[in-house]
Amino acid sequence: MTDNQQKPSPTQQPQNNLRNPRSWVIPLLLLILMIWMLIPANWRRTEISYTEFRAHVENDNVAQVTVQGDQISGTLKSPGTKRVKKGEDVQYTEFETYLPSFGDEELMGLLESKNVVVNTKPTSDPWLWYGIISFLPLLLILGLVYAQTRRFQSQGGGIFSVGKSQARMYDRSEVETTFDDVAGAEGGKQELKEVVSFLREPEKIRDMGGEIPKGIMLAGYPGTGKTLLARAVAGEAGVPFFSITGSDFLEMFVGVGAKRVRNLFQDAKKEAPSIIFIDEIDAIARRRGAGLGGGHDEREQTLNQLLSELDGFEPNENVVVMTATNRPDILDPALSRPGRFDRKITVDLPTTADREQILDIYVRNKKLGDDVDLKALARGTPGFSGADLRNLLNEAALLAARHNREIIQWRDIEEARDKVMMGLQRHGLTMTEEEKRMVAYHESGHAIVGAALPHSDPVHKVSIIPRSQAMGATQQFPEQEQYIYRKEYMLDRLAVMMGGRCAETLVFGTSTSGAANDLQTATQLARSMVLEWGMSERFKYMAPGGQSKEVFLGEQLGKSREISERTAQEVDEEVEELLREAYERAMEVIRDKRWALDRLAEMLEEREEIAGEEVHEMLNTETTESD
């Protein structure tokens, strides 16, 4: 599943100011002109004393002079010599000097007697230079403002273009992703393939008296491939594809979002048949007037305009609108009615078979060792999305490179999975021997109960390596995908969660804070069993808390409670009863398997990590010997 970057159309890309000669040639010429004006005209002349100048005149070595006020400049017939430093002399032919403040009445007569050509110039006005120097900072500031304004306008940010659509248009040549690059989500791909065929051959459906679906909503967990499916549609459709995110419609000015929606649909109608893709539409399509304090004027006006464009008074033919969201529960109900978003495609988390196909795509450009089993990896990553799998393989590649290996080995993938699921190792953490022993017995309690109970998932690994999210972990992965969970399975899960606390109580006669997450998770699971699934003795036929939770603050204030105080108390009693029974079952298993608990804890203290196969083999071997 290659997640290619979208490439904007050349007409949509911002101009590169460095490659545009008009943006830098004129400022450069102005800068050169200013520098030339500020450079003194006499920078090549040598300044000499008035006495030395009189000596050159008397020796008939001056060809011509120019008199400008009290400044005298000229040219010698033969080069003169001036000492600059000790032991260093320079020769010059052009010179300049200044008349004494008391004047020299004999100078003009001396110049005439020596036949020196005399030129005169009016005295220069110093206010011109003062003006240039004073206005230079202002000119520089104006130049910077002009350059920034040009850059702002080149990126479509002019004040008169604030309502312009921010969507980028793509064609098939710019998007390389196809449906072959998307693994899993077969139902969604089939629905989208039909839309692509409708756009390519609209007469096929019109001959049947049907209409092309106006809107398609992709909903699902983050990372399941909703945007990737949209890219595949862009690569397969062969029609103009406009892509934009929901936040691109919103601005600080009320009415800008609605104007951008109108411009977007106008551009799409000009290119019809075409597709509009709005990613993260929940940014503008939240339920109107929900919660305390009313709504958001700009967002609601934008949503109203979008609803009108989808199914309003004006016809909207041959333009299909696709959208993606992680939160379909907070969208406005008017958005999902027939005639607007006709199809809702739920992109679920991939199954085991889907994960194996996704891994096959992601390992195309990776060098894998012979010990890497993608089928086992797919089984050992339940609940992982496509983005999670891609991140896992990338972390494995980084770990292999860190250890200077040329291929990715299975241990790299195992370490990457632990890193993704439980966080980084805490290398600087030093536990005492007593703390390490407590953690070893705690995790051994989970593992022994998980391996002994019949309806529990198989133990994959037991570890006491400290990580950012836990001091240790017991990993259990199902043998196959499950979609319906039996009560026996849930009860065994509760018992496994209580296994760590039971081991602490039995061995050390105390309780530790290491069971905090176990107790929280077990309480949530037991409450769901009572409130939603009818898995308790007192509430077999009702779901006291099965109603959907309100998303917006304030919506619950106007609703009455559906259960009484007495029922709520009975629910708490049932939850407590389930947890107590789970604790007793786990304690019974640990007391019966105390020998295995001690042996596994010793092995963990020595090796820090034990494979699940060793735990199951240990219990099976002892069971066979006892028989």
Instruction: Taking residues 186-208, report their average pLDDT.
Output: 77
CA distance 518 to 159: 57
443 is catalytic: yes
d(CA 369, CA 373): 9
425 DSSP assignment: B
What is the number of domains present in the chain? 5
Return the CATH number at 97: 3.30.720.210
What does the block give as tokens for 163? 């309502």
Q: Is residue 428 part of a domain?
A: no
Question: Which among 354, 362, 307 is positioned nearest to 335, based on CA atoms?
Answer: 307
Q: What percent of the chain has pLDDT over 70?
A: 78
**228 shares its domain with 377:** no
Domain assignment present for 7: no
Q: Which of 140-149, 163-172, 377-386, 543-552 has maximum average pLDDT?
A: 377-386
Query: What pLDDT shows up at residue 447?
Result: 93
Mean pLDDT across 3-26: 46
Same-domain status, 359 and 379: yes
Token code pair at residue 158: 């002019």
* Within-domain flag for 30: yes
Angle (CA) 175-176-177 rounded to 5° is: 100
Sheet holding 459-463, edge to edge: 473-476, 459-463, 609-611
Residues 181 and 296 in one domain: yes
- In the predicted model, what is the mean pLDDT of residues 414-428? 82
What is residue 482's DSSP assignment?
Answer: -
Task: Say how far apart CA 52 and CA 72 lie, in whole Å.
Answer: 13
- Tell me the β-bridge partners of 64: 75, 117
The reply to whether 9 falls in a domain is no
Considering the domain architecture, whether residues 336 and 360 belong to the same structural domain is answered as: no
pLDDT at 12: 41
Q: Kindly state whether residues 266 and 146 are assigned to the same domain.
A: no
Q: What angle do CA 308, 226, 342 make, to 5 degrees?
A: 35
Say yes or no to pLDDT of 254 above 60.
Answer: no
What proportion of the chain, given as a percentage, has pLDDT over 90? 17
417 and 471 share one domain: no
Task: Compute the average pLDDT of residues 151-157.
Answer: 53
Q: Which of 298, 300, 395, 443 is catalytic?
A: 443
pLDDT at 14 over 80: no
User: What is the Cα–Cα distance from 30 to 255, expressed in whole angstroms?
Assistant: 42
Backbone angles phi, psi at 87, to 5 degrees: 80, 10
Q: Are 471 and 514 in contact (CB under 8 A)?
A: yes
Tens of pLDDT, residue by residue over 386-412, are: 888 999 999 999 999 998 988 999 989
Q: Are residues 515 and 609 in the same domain?
A: yes
Measured between its terminal Cα atoms, the distance across the chain in Å is 51
Q: Write out the two tokens for 110.
A: 């001396």
In a domain, 12, yes or no: no
pLDDT confidence of residue 448: 94
CATH of residue 381's domain is 1.10.8.60
Residues 300, 217 share a domain: yes
111 and 152 fall within a common domain = no
| Better pLDDT: 622 or 451 | 451
Question: Domain limits at 404?
Answer: 352-422
Same structural domain for residues 52 and 34?
A: no
Distances (CA, A) of 425 to 16, 416, 417, 430, 475: 45, 11, 12, 12, 16
Lowest mean pLDDT among 112-126, 128-142, 233-247, 528-542: 128-142
d(CA 595, CA 242): 66
Which token pair is 316?
Answer: 């909207």
| Nearest alpha carbon to residue 531 among 576, 484, 564, 572 | 572
